[in-house]
Copies of this chain bind each other. A is one copy, B any other.
């Protein structure tokens, strides 16, 4: 398992309820891909959402996001952490 940061753009105006609903949609199916979404942070003004996950691969992260209806624009492994 590795850690990933993914980024969604174009989410201007996202609300706390919408962020929670999107996160719950990921959580509902993540086990099928052995992914766990740990946190998400959003900037409604720039329309950027950052998701931190543990997953077997970037492709697995993207598959969960796609099936939940919100494909990520970028998925990066982040093997280093402090």
Residue from the list B14, B45, B50, B78 in contact with A43, Cβ < 8 A: B78
The answer on a CB contact under 8 Å between A3 and B77 is no
Q: How many copies does the complex hold?
A: 2
| A82 contacts across to B, CB distance below 8 A | 19-20, 23, 39-40
Q: In whole angstroms, what is the CA distance A71 to B39 when docked?
A: 25
**A1 contacts the other chain (CB 8 A):** no
Q: In whole angstroms, what is the CA distance A78 to B43 when docked?
A: 4
Q: In whole angstroms, what is the CA distance A19 to B79 when docked?
A: 11
Residue from the list B5, B19, B20 in contact with A41, Cβ < 8 A: B5
Which residues on A are within 8 Å of B, measured CB to CB?
A: 3, 5, 14-16, 19-20, 23, 39-46, 48, 50, 52, 76-82
